[in-house]
Amino acid sequence: MRYIPAITKLIDEFSRLPGIGRKTAQRLAFYIVDMEPARAHQFAEAILDAKRKVHYCERCFNLTEESLCDICSDPKRDPALMCVVETPRDLIAVENTKEYNGD
């Protein structure tokens, strides 16, 4: 049996996300269909908002909504120290240790 076009489109979009298989994509699509309209709108808006506002820090390539990220614009940080990580997600792990005070 084929899904109606709007469901198929939603399943296809979820399937393109990393780590989401076809079955999970179907489950998520049906979850969205059952959502309250306001909640679905909030979800869609969060995606659009992130795409509109989030970009890379011009100094360190961390994610930010400003030209410099929170770390680069923090005057209490030591700019002589620099920790290099592979992705912004790795940076969160270093920051959560609360042991590092450089840029």
Q: What residue ranges bind Zn ion (CB under 5 A)?
A: 57, 59-60, 62, 69, 72
Shortest reach from residue 3's CB to Zn ion, in Å:
44
Residue 74's nearest CA partner among 62, 84, 85, 86 is 62
Other beta carbons within 10 angstroms of residue 3's beta carbon come to 14
Nearer to Zn ion, 17 or 92 (CB): 92
CB of 31 to Zn ion, least distance (A): 36
Q: 10 or 60, CB closer to Zn ion?
A: 60
Minimum distance from residue 13 beta carbon to Zn ion (Å): 31
Q: Which is nearer to Zn ion, 11 or 69 (CB)?
A: 69
Nearer to Zn ion, 32 or 72 (CB): 72
CB-hemisphere CA count at 13 Å for 83?
A: 19
CA geometry: angle 21, 54, 46, nearest 5 deg = 55
Residues 77-83: contacts with CB under 8 Å, at least 24 apart: 77/101, 77/102, 77/103, 78/102, 78/103, 79/103
Least Å distance, CB 18 to Zn ion, is 25
